[in-house]
């Protein structure tokens, strides 16, 4: 079941905001809704027209808010529900859209549902989570919390051991304590999930990024049970909120889009080969020129064919779970990475700060369950004032300390430098937004993507517009055979391609978008 795309997704370019670290308006050392409101014009000016906000709900913050204790109330540190509504309104006033983060797979152990479910007496929440019926039996392959409930049983966890798994049932239950997806407990969990979505959509959010969307039904190897569950959600959305957008953290677009999601992420885990691009020993976008794009492309084509034309495969620049894009790439390499990210189909997702090349900060003590991810979650660097302009709080009160390097990039310094990454990203976004062929629904055909070889070329098309994208991240001049002669250049970086004896010659460390008439 493919969902009908909300019209605004056709040219949506998302900007991901980790609310803790974006902008602290009230000076307590942590980002907040008011801070985001004050920086909306910055995001809009960059050219992004949509936001994804990491979880901003009540939580003990053992996993940066992915451990929710109340889905219906914002975390005080960011502001009230009314403040969040103001953020929705301010976003909309600027012609932009905003997605919240939906965490359907688990809660915090502090959630009242979990406290109730730990009780020995049966109650409304007894089956809200996955419990075995004896403390001595552990739910196989899932990890569990045990030994602190009156209830005799072990509770399955979904991620960290303080994140008990909500019960959506088992695909094929084979133990007495395993419920089927049609049992009352799992059905009630699903209805509650819809209530949560309804609550925030009514207040004015435009949809959700869904955490671990493929994990809900257990022992569901092919994802069939989980796909069916999301189809049920799709029917609800079609009936009540047809223009809400849904993007899954699943990493298997064929499954996710069948479940009625509009978009799925390619991720740094799973089968996508996403890491071959930017995050491996020899990334394709490194000037060393020792990378390989071919497996990424093979997998992409497989997904693209299976996913059909209507769903979007989204390639993020980064996110709060992976190393910063700039950990292994620098200078022109980063610009070339964006020339790729902003010319692929699917909705682009820019992680806050990637547009200025914010660095991965090594050596930080874990904050709120971030561990190695903490270095990708440091405060946004706005200017050259204290705390890089993120907060007026004393340095020791900051949620995570800022990058301490004297040459850390800032928005201010990058805006002042016409040759900066910021300006390149802005230029690329503007070009994408003015050419349908480059946008989210435009088609792609890979022209040149050979094993251990540069360049990398593909054709983007929509209606009768065709644009050839040629990327050569390597430091060497390279060439390839292409039967059509590119016409004018729409975008170039590092020089234009030239035609020599039937070959297209591509300058070192260059990117170009060219109109063609195939
Ligand atoms: C994926 C989220 O992106 C990550 O930050 C979180 O820790 C896990 N899911 C658990 O919710
Ligand atoms: Ca604050």
pLDDT in tens, 68-82: 999 999 999 999 999
Contact 128, 117 (CB under 8 A): yes
Over residues 339-344, mean pLDDT:
98
CATH of domain 7-105+205-433: 3.20.20.80
Tell me the average pLDDT of the chain: 97
Cα→Cα distances 446→223, 254, 255, 284, 438, Å: 29, 20, 23, 16, 14
pLDDT tens figures, 278-318: 999 999 999 999 999 999 999 999 999 988 776 899 999 99
How far is CA 306 from each of CA 3, 271, 442, rounded to the nearest angstrom?
15, 14, 17
Q: Are 374 and 383 in contact (CB under 8 A)?
A: no
Nearest residue by C-alpha to atom 11 in ligand 1: 66
pLDDT-derived band at 502, boundaries 50, 70, 90? confident
Determine the 3-state secondary structure of 489 from DSSP: strand
Q: Identify which of 17, 56, 66, 158 to mutate to test ligand 1's pocket (most ligand atoms within 8 A of the CB).
A: 66
- Is the pLDDT at 233 greater than 80, yes or no? yes
β-strand partners of 126: none
- Give the pLDDT confidence of 126-157 residue by residue, as tens digits: 999 999 999 999 999 999 999 999 999 999 99
Parallel, antiparallel or unpaired: strands 503-506 and 478-481: antiparallel
User: 243, 268, 266, 238: which is closest to 253 by C-alpha?
Assistant: 266
Q: Which residue, among 342, 330, 269, has the nearest Cα to 47 in the 3D structure?
A: 342
> In whole angstroms, what is the distance from residue 468 CA to residue 475 CA?
21
Express each pLDDT in 37-91 by its tens digit. Answer: 999 999 999 999 999 999 999 999 999 999 999 999 999 999 999 999 999 999 9
CA of residue 296 to ligand 2 center, whole Å: 40
pLDDT tens across 473-484, in order? 999 999 999 988
Q: Are 123 and 232 in contact (CB under 8 A)?
A: no
Separation between Cα atoms, residue 230 and residue 190, nearest integer Å: 10
Q: Which ligand lies nearest to the CA atom of residue 373 in the structure?
A: 1
The minimum-distance atom of ligand 1 relative to the CA of 319 is 3
Query: Is 16 within 8 Å of 1 (Cβ atoms)?
Result: no
**Angle at alpha carbon of residue 388, lines to 387 and 392, rounded to 5°:** 45
Q: Mark out the alpha helices in 51-183 (DSSP H runs).
A: 81-93, 112-117
CB 244 within 8 A of CB 206: yes
Which residue among 104, 212, 251, 371 is best mutated to probe the pocket of ligand 1, counting the most ligand atoms within 8 A of its Cβ?
Answer: 212
End-to-end CA gap in the chain:
33
| Cα(422)–Cα(415) distance, integer angstroms | 7
Assess contact for 123 and 116: CB atoms under 8 A. Answer: yes
Q: Say yes or no: do domains 7-105+205-433 and 443-515 share a fold.
A: no
Say which range, 160-174, 257-271, 430-444, has the weakest mean pLDDT. Answer: 257-271
Closest CA to 142 of 164, 126, 127, 115: 164
- The vertex-484 CA angle with 473 and 348, nearest 5°, equals 45
CA of 430 to the centre of ligand 1 (A): 32
455: cis peptide before it, omega within 30°? yes
Instruction: Say how many residues make up the chain.
Output: 518
CB atoms closer than 10 angstroms to residue 142: 16
Yes or no: say if 395 and 401 are a contact pair by the CB < 8 Å rule: yes
Å from CA of 285 to ligand 1 middle: 27
pTM value is: 0.98
Burial of 62 (0-12, 13-18, 19+ CB in 10 A): middle
pLDDT band at 2 (very low <50, low <70, confident <90, very high): low
Q: How far is the CA of 66 from the centre of ligand 1 (A)?
A: 6
Produce one character per residue of 115-141: b if its CB has 16 or more CB atoms within 10 Å, e if not: eebbeeeeeebbbbbbbbeeeebebee
Give the position, in ligand 1's atom list, of the atom nearest the Cα of 160.
Answer: 10
Average pLDDT score over residue span 416-437: 98
314 Cα to the center of ligand 2, angstroms: 31
139 close to 175: Cβ distance less than 8 angstroms: no
- Give nearest CA residue, ligand 1 atom 3: 321
Q: Please give the sequence-ordered ranges of beta strands (E in DSSP) within 284-426, or none if there are none.
A: 312-314, 349-351
* Domain 443-515 class, CATH top level: mainly beta
Using a 6 Å CB cutoff, which residues line ligand 1?
Answer: 63, 66, 103, 159, 211-212, 249, 320-321
Rounded CA separation 206/200 (Å): 9
Give the number of the ligand closest to the Cα of residue 77.
Answer: 2
Tell me: pLDDT of 3 over 90. Answer: no
Nearest CA to ligand 1 atom 5: 321
Is the pLDDT assigned to residue 1 strictly greater than 60?
A: no
CA of 492 to the centre of ligand 1 (A): 37
Tokens 């190695």 belong to residue: 372
Contact 81, 204 (CB under 8 A): no
Which residue, among 479, 494, 476, has the nearest Cα to 448 in the 3D structure?
A: 479
Higher per-residue pLDDT: 272 or 197: 197
* Tokens 């998302």, located at residue: 14
Q: Which atom of ligand 1 is nearest to the CA of 105?
A: 11
Most informative mutation of 19, 59, 63, 64 for ligand 1 (most atoms within 8 A of CB): 63
Which residue CA neighbors atom 1 of ligand 1 most closely? 211
Whole-angstrom CA distances from 415 to 167, 351, 420, 506 are 49, 18, 7, 29
Domain boundary assignment for the chain: 7-105+205-433, 443-515
The yes-or-no verdict on residue 170 having pLDDT over 70 is yes
Share of the chain above pLDDT 90, in %: 95
Distance from Cα 319 to the centre of ligand 1, integer Å: 10
* Token pair 């007894």 in the structure block, residue: 126
Q: What are the pLDDT digits (tens) for 359-387?
A: 999 999 999 999 999 999 999 999 999 99
């Amino acid at each position: 079941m493919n969902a009908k795309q909300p019209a605004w997704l056709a040219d949506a370019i998302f900007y991901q905001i980790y609310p803790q670290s974006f902008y602290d308006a009230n000076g307590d050392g942590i980002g907040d809704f008011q801070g985001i409101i004050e920086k909306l014009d910055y995001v809009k000016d960059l050219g992004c027209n949509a936001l994804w906000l990491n979880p901003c709900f009540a939580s003990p913050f053992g996993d940066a808010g992915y451990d929710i204790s109340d889905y219906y109330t914002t975390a005080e540190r960011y502001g009230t529900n009314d403040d969040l509504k103001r953020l929705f309104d301010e976003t909309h006033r600027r012609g932009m859209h905003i997605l919240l983060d939906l965490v359907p797979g688990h809660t915090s152990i502090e959630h009242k549902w979990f406290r109730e479910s730990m009780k020995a007496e049966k109650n409304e929440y007894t089956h809200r989570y996955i419990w075995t019926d004896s403390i001595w039996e552990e739910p196989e392959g899932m990890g569990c919390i045990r030994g602190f409930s009156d209830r005799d049983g072990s509770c399955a966890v979904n991620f960290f051991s303080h994140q008990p798994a909500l019960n959506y049932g088992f695909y094929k239950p084979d133990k007495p304590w395993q419920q089927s997806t049609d049992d009352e407990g799992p059905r009630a969990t699903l209805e509650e999930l819809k209530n949560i979505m309804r609550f925030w959509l009514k207040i004015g959010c435009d949809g959700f990024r869904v955490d671990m969307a493929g994990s809900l039904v257990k022992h569901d190897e092919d994802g069939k049970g989980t796909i069916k569950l999301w189809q049920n959600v799709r029917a609800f959305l079609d009936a009540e909120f047809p223009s809400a957008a849904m993007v899954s953290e699943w990493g298997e677009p064929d499954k996710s889009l069948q479940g009625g999601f509009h978009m799925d992420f390619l991720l740094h885990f799973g089968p996508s080969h996403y890491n071959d691009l930017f995050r491996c020993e020899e990334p394709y976008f490194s000037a060393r020129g020792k990378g390989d794009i071919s497996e990424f492309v093979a997998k992409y084509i497989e997904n693209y064919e299976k996913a059909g034309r209507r769903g979007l495969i989204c390639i993020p620049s980064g996110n709060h779970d992976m190393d910063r894009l700039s950990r292994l790439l620098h200078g022109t390499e980063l610009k070339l990475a964006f020339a790729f990210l902003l010319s692929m189909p699917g909705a682009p997702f820019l992680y806050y700060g990637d547009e200025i090349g914010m660095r991965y900060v090594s050596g930080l003590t874990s904050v709120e369950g971030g561990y190695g991810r903490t270095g990708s979650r440091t405060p946004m660097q706005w200017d050259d004032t204290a705390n890089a302009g993120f907060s007026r709080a004393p340095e020791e009160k900051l949620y995570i300390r800022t990058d301490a390097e004297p040459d850390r990039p800032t928005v201010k310094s990058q805006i002042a430098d016409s040759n900066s990454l910021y300006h390149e990203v802005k230029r690329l976004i503007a070009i994408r937004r003015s050419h349908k062929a480059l946008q989210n629904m435009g088609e792609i055909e890979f022209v040149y993507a050979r094993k251990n070889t540069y360049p990398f070329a593909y054709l983007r098309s929509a209606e009768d517009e065709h644009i050839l994208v040629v990327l050569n991240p390597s430091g060497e001049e390279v060439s390839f055979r292409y039967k059509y002669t590119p016409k004018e250049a729409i975008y170039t970086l590092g020089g234009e391609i030239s035609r020599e004896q039937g070959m297209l010659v591509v300058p070192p460390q260059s990117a170009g978008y060219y109109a063609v008439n195939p």
